[in-house]
Each structure stands twice: as structure tokens, then as C-alpha cells.
């Protein structure tokens, strides 16, 4: 029986999407947790270098990107809500806004990277920039993957029937997108803000 | 449906052969794994090849023979993938071809290191160059098994039955491992030990062991499933 079906007088509580996606998210979060530990460990060994590196980062770009991803997460949550009640047009609109924020994030990230490159900083500069480029780059890869999944949903769900077949997928992509957002908030705090 | 039993026997035998030959060759005899630090000086590298000349060549030879045994295992995987697919078995072919790439990039560095060990009296720069070349070749490419895992993951997720042939979390885990091995192209940026160096936490410990753990788990899950229900089809369509 589909666990989402509720029978009268007996309410089933189910967590969104399927267990497999939670396993994926847990695994991915553990990898990033290791990144954070590595970053903190290397920072504790070379505090001056890391603070000097942090001061070259553009806080405005980082801040705007945080806002963009948080906003995108809001729209993603709205999209999932609309999918659950089967409202096609608002769903597509919310998905479009999520993707707009994601694109904004990628554009700012590109500007930020090219700003760093023209300033003479690159991945082999020192321990701080190795971590900075590796971790934010790997996160950007996650954003790109998320955008591809969103694009897939946007292009292939064109009718209300699409919701019934794809509700699990929509919730899964939603969860993944929230994870990407969460990871950025931690990355931003750790790399840009923590003195 | 291809008879299951021979497939599982082939898979288990080839898994055992690969593990035995590769692990004993690389870890025990040649002492190449876990990898040495990229920060070793030229003198230290040359000294390593000088002192262990014979055991290096013996271990590397065993290991490259072991990599050949990965192929039957991967092709068994393709047989299963082809059963899931409709029309031309794209994922089965893709997985099989990428397996060839994985085997080549796992075996080829061994010959480069053997060349370094062959004439240890040659100039130290050449030995350390061959040493670096081998390690970069060994540690940097990961897209071969990334693609293999993505193929397996996608085909696994096509099975939407209540009791799928392999648990769906295994397929999601495959996709995660495929992403987890992606930082390996950062290896050539590290001339000293670090998290993304060729002996690093992410580019060796996670990128090397997570696919291995996944594949061993998969073989056991599949063997167990077939033992319980020999006639269970791979797909519910």
C-alpha cells in the first residue's frame, strides 16, 4: 500500500519522498562535514594565512548569494506545496523563480571567481585558496546538478497527471535543493565570516 | 533471462581475484598503497625505488593482473543492466565501456612505475618524473567509474516495485559515490600532502574505498536476493 494513502480514522504520517534520497543526503552531508572538519583543522594550524585569505573575499558577493539561495529555497518549498495540491501553473511559476535565483547564484559565483583569478589568486596559491576553491567549487557542482534536476522537472511536468507520477521526484529534488542551500549557509559562515 | 547462477559465480570469483591480487600486490608487496606523500623529496623517491626494486616489480605485476579480473565482474553488471533496459541497452554498453577505461587507468600507471624501478641506476630526475606521472595517472581520472556507477544507479531506480531487485537506497548510494569521487581532478594541484593530494582524505581514502565498498555490498545483496528468489525478474514491467 502506498504509505501516503490515509484511511478514515487512521492517519499515516510519512516523511517526504523515499528513504533512498535521505540516504543520499546523509552521505553527502557527511562528506561536507568532513570538508568542514578539514577546513577548521587546517585553519587552526595556519590561522594567519587563513585570516589573510578570508580578508580578500568579497563579503557582498557571498552575502547576496546566501540571500539568493535562501529565497530559492522558499520558492522550492512553495513549488512542492503546489505540486501536492496539483496546481500546475503556480508550480511552474515557483519552479521558474527557484531557477532564477539559482542562475543568479551561479552568475555571481562566476564573477567572484574571475575577480579572484584576475587578482592573482588561484587554486595553487596557498592552503586557504586550495580549500576555498575546492569546497566552493564542489558546492557549485551541486548547484549545477540541482539546476539540471529543476530544469528536468520544469520541462517534463506539463500536466496534472504528471504530479501523481512525479510527486516523489519533486519532493526529492526539493530536499536536495534545501540541502544545497543549507551547505552554502555553512560554507559561507565558515569560509567568509568566522574570524 | 540469462541463467543467474553462473553469473554470480563469475562475479564472486572475479571479485576475489581482483581483491587478492591487487590488495596483496599494491599494499603488501610493492608497498605503493596507501600512496606515498607527494611531498617526498627526489632523494627519498629514488631511495624507495633503489631499496625495493624487486618487490616493487613483483607487486605491480600482480596488481595489474588483478585489475584484468575487474572486467568479468563489470560485464556481469552489464548483463543485469541490459535486462532492465528496453530497446538498445545504452546503460549496459556504457557501463561496460567505462569499465574498460577504469581497468586501463588502474593498470597503466603500474607500467610507468615499473619503468622507474627497472633501471634504478638512471638519473634521479627521470625516476621521480616517472613516479609523479604514475601517481597523477592513477589518482586523477575518476570519470570512468563515476559513469559506471551512474549507469547502475539509473537502471536500479527504474525498478519501482514494492520489493525491487536491489534496494533503492543502493542506487541512490551509487549516485552519491559517483559524486563523491569527483574531486580527483584536483590531485595535480597538490605538491605536498593535503586533503585533495593523491594520498588525500577525499581523493584517496574516500575516492578509492567508497566504490569498492559499494560494489562488494552490491554483489552480496544480489547473490542473497537470487538465493532467496531465483526466478525474480530484474524489472517489474
Question: Quick one: which of B226, B31, B46, B196 has its CA closest to B121?
Answer: B46
CB contact under 8 A, B179 and A124: no
- Comparing alpha-carbon positions, the chain B residue that sits nearest to A138 is B183
Question: Is there a contact between B176 and A28 if contact means CB atoms under 8 Å apart?
Answer: yes
Q: Do the domain assignments include residue A7?
A: no
Distance, CA of A66 to CA of A189 (rounded, Å): 10
Average pLDDT, chain A: 89
- Tell me, yes or no, whether B233 lies in a domain: no
Domain count, chain B: 1
We report the CATH number of the domain holding residue A112 as 1.20.120.80
Residues in chain A with CB shorter than 8 Å from the CB of B182 are 138, 141
Q: Does A125 have pLDDT greater than 60?
A: yes
Residue A101 included in any domain: yes
Q: What percent of chain A has pLDDT over 90?
A: 71
Give yes or no for residue A171 having a pLDDT over 60: yes
Asked whether residue B237 is domain-assigned, the answer is: no
Task: Single out the residue of A193, A146, A133 nearest to residue A173, CA to CA.
Answer: A146
Q: For residue B235, is it within any domain?
A: no
Structural domain contains residue A39: yes
Domain membership of residue B23 as a residue range? 4-228
Chain segment A78-112, per-residue pLDDT in tens: 999 999 998 999 999 999 999 999 999 999 999 99
**pLDDT level of residue A5 (50, 70, 90 thresholds):** very low
- Helix (H, G, I), strand (E, B), or coil: what is residue A134? helix
Model pLDDT for residues B30-69, shown as the tens digit of each residue: 999 899 999 999 999 999 999 999 999 999 999 999 999 9
ipTM: 0.80
- Write out pLDDT tens, residues B81-104: 998 888 899 999 999 999 999 999
Q: How many CA atoms, within 13 angstroms, populate the side-chain half-sphere of residue A110? A: 8
| pLDDT tens for each residue of A56-83 | 999 999 999 999 999 999 999 999 999 9
> For residues A153 and A166, is the Cβ–Cβ distance under 8 A?
yes
The region of weakest confidence among A13-22, A184-193, B196-205 is A13-22
Nearest Cβ partner for A134 among B172, B175, B196 = B196
Across the interface, do B182 and A141 touch by the CB < 8 Å criterion? yes
B83 assigned to some structural domain? yes
Look up residue B206 and give its DSSP letter: I
Statement: residue B25 has pLDDT above 70: yes
Share of chain B above pLDDT 70, in %: 99
Structural domain includes residue A50: yes
- Which of the residue ranges B81-85, B120-124, B226-230 would you say has the lowest mean pLDDT? B226-230
Question: What pLDDT score was predicted for residue B74?
Answer: 94
- Residues from chain A that touch B202, judged by Cβ atoms under 8 A, are 31, 34-35
Could you tell me the residue range of the domain that residue A159 belongs to?
19-193
Distances, alpha carbon B219 to alpha carbons A64, B13, B163, B216, in Å: 47, 11, 18, 5
Whether A10 maps to a domain, the answer reads no
**Which residues in A have their CB inside 8 Å of a CB on B?**
18-21, 23-24, 27-28, 31, 34-35, 38, 123-124, 127, 130-131, 134, 138, 141-142, 145
Residue A181: closest CA among A155, A146, A153, A149: A146
Domains identified in chain A, total number: 1
For residue B184, being part of any structural domain is answered with yes
Nearest to A27 among B157, B167, B173 (CB): B173
- Nearest C-alpha in A relative to B206: A31
Amino acid at each position: 500500500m502506498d504509505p501516503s494513502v490515509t484511511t478514515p480514522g487512521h492517519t499515516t504520517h510519512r516523511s517526504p519522498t523515499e528513504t533512498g534520497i535521505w540516504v543520499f543526503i546523509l552521505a553527502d552531508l557527511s562528506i561536507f562535514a568532513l570538508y568542514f572538519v578539514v577546513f577548521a583543522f587546517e585553519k587552526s594550524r595556519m590561522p594567519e594565512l587563513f585570516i589573510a585569505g578570508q580578508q580578500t573575499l568579497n563579503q557582498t558577493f557571498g552575502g547576496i548569494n546566501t540571500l539568493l539561495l535562501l529565497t530559492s529555497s522558499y520558492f522550492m518549498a512553495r513549488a512542492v506545496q503546489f505540486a501536492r495540491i496539483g496546481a500546475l501553473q503556480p508550480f511552474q511559476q515557483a519552479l521558474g523563480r527557484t531557477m532564477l535565483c539559482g542562475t543568479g547564484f551561479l552568475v555571481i559565483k562566476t564573477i567572484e571567481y574571475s575577480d579572484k583569478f584576475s587578482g592573482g589568486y588561484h587554486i595553487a596559491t596557498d592552503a586557504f585558496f586550495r580549500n576555498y576553491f575546492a569546497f566552493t567549487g564542489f558546492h557549485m557542482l551541486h548547484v549545477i546538478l540541482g539546476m539540471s534536476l529543476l530544469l528536468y522537472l520544469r520541462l517534463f511536468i506539463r500536466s496534472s497527471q504528471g504530479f501523481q507520477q512525479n510527486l516523489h521526484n519533486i519532493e526529492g529534488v526539493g530536499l536536495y535543493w534545501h540541502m544545497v542551500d543549507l551547505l552554502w549557509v555553512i560554507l559561507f559562515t565558515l569560509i567568509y565570516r568566522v574570524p | 533471462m540469462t541463467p543467474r547462477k553462473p553469473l554470480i559465480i563469475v562475479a564472486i570469483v572475479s571479485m576475489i581475484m581482483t581483491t587478492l591480487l591487487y590488495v596483496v600486490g599494491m599494499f603488501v608487496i610493492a608497498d605503493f598503497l596507501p600512496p606515498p606523500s607527494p611531498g617526498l623529496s627526489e632523494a627519498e623517491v629514488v631511495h624507495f625505488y633503489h631499496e625495493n626494486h624487486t618487490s616493487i616489480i613483483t607487486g605491480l605485476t600482480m596488481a595489474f593482473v588483478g585489475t584484468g579480473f575487474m572486467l568479468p565482474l563489470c560485464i556481469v553488471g552489464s548483463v543485469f543492466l541490459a535486462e532492465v533496459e528496453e530497446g538498445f541497452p545504452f546503460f549496459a554498453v556504457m557501463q561496460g565501456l567505462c569499465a574498460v577505461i577504469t581497468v586501463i587507468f588502474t593498470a597503466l600507471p603500474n607500467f610507468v612505475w615499473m619503468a622507474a624501478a627497472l633501471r634504478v641506476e638512471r638519473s634521479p630526475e627521470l625516476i621521480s618524473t616517472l613516479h609523479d606521472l604514475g601517481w597523477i595517472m592513477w589518482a586523477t581520472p575518476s570519470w570512468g567509474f563515476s559513469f559506471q556507477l551512474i549507469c547502475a544507479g539509473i537502471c536500479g531506480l527504474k525498478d519501482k516495485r514494492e520489493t525491487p531487485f536491489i534496494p533503492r537506497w543502493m542506487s541512490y548510494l551509487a549516485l552519491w559515490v559517483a559524486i563523491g569521487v569527483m574531486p580527483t581532478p584536483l590531485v595535480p594541484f597538490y605538491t605536498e600532502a593535503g586533503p585533495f593530494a593523491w594520498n588525500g582524505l577525499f581523493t584517496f581514502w574516500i575516492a578509492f574505498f567508497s566504490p569498492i565498498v559499494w560494489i562488494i555490498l552490491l554483489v552480496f545483496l544480489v547473490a542473497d536476493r537470487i538465493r532467496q528468489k531465483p526466478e525474480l525478474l530484474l524489472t517489474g514491467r
